[in-house]
Structure 1
Amino acid sequence: MSEGAEPVPFEVYRAGVYLHGTKADLAVGDLVMPGRESNFEGGRVMNHVYLTETLDAATWGAELSAGEGPGRIYVVEPTGDIEDDPNVTDKRYPGNPTRSYRSRDPLRVVAELTGWTGHPPERVQAMRDGLAALQREGRAQIDD
């Protein structure tokens, strides 16, 4: 992946490296904990935390999450077991090509990834519009 290039779907960022996209301002050593309000569904407390091996999925998390301020991507390490994220695995894509996972255990922030390039604004808006339509239709269920 070249610097400044839009992230490529399904492309692993670096082997063995997990990423978490959010708007939360975190520091190295902080824990991303389950039991907090969803970044994508207001009022819903999440049982899991989510992580990915692809910059594309982490970028979507950073761009679409709730909150003020810029999107951020963190390099994280799981403190417990992880499993495939059922929200994308086999529902939208056969297998797990997005390399998206979840855990009931915290994720420890190892570093903040800087210098990443987001999706074009029109793609972000199209994704937001699509998610809003799913919410209006009652089809925006998170399997948590």
Structure 2
Amino acid sequence: MPEPFEEYEPGVFLHGTKADLAVGDVLVPGRDSNFEAGRRANHVYLTSTLDAATWGAELAAGVGRGRIYIVEPTGAVEDDPNVTDKKFPGNPTRSYRTREPVQIVGELVDWIGHAPEQVQSMRDGLAALTREGRAVIDD
């Protein structure tokens, strides 16, 4: 299982999703959000920890299996305020976002997900935040 806060490899960024993509594809802002139905994302989100990418792959909207891509940003990245300001000051999750395109350069195929009960617990917690009106994404 992925270790929280452990960097995957120095200088490597990851993106977790359910989208079926290929090396050379480019992720751009302005697409449907992976995590909020009916919302367009103004950023592309990425991380340098396998744990955060795994959560992204497991919790993303859509059907099919979760996927984790190795990506290269084409411009500046900034700390993701949805994680760093709200949950983990100092950005130990190494969660970032960018308004610039991000190119897929590879895919991790042998990653191990969280236990099903952990995923369900996270989904339940996110659903509760939505019901309470506290599932706000700063995008």
TM-score by length of 2: 0.99
Q: CA separation in 2, counterparts of 1:106 and 1:63?
A: 23
CA deviation after TM superposition for structure 1 residue 94, in Å: 1.7
Partner of 1:3: none
**Unaligned 5+ runs, structure 1:** 1-5
Within a 5 Å distance, the mapping from 1:4-83 to structure 2 comes to 6-83=1-78
Counterpart code for 1:134:
L
Confirm whether residue 140 of structure 1 aligns to residue 135 of structure 2.
yes
**Aligned amino acid, residue 101 of structure 1:** Y
The Cα of 1:33 is off from its aligned counterpart by: 1.1
* Residues matched between the structures, number: 139
Runs of 4+ deviating beyond 2 Å: none
Report the CA distance between 1:113 and its aligned residue.
0.6
CA deviation vs aligned residue, 1:45-84 (integer Å, no higher than 9, x gap) = 1100000000000000000000111000000000111000
Q: Does 1:86 align with 2:81?
A: yes
Residue 91 of structure 2 corresponds to: 96
Deviation by residue 1:80-129 (Cα, 9 ceiling, x = unmatched): 11000000113211201000000001110000111000000000000000
Paired position in structure 2 for 1:118? 113
- The Cα RMSD (Å) is 0.5
| TM-score with structure 1 setting the length | 0.95
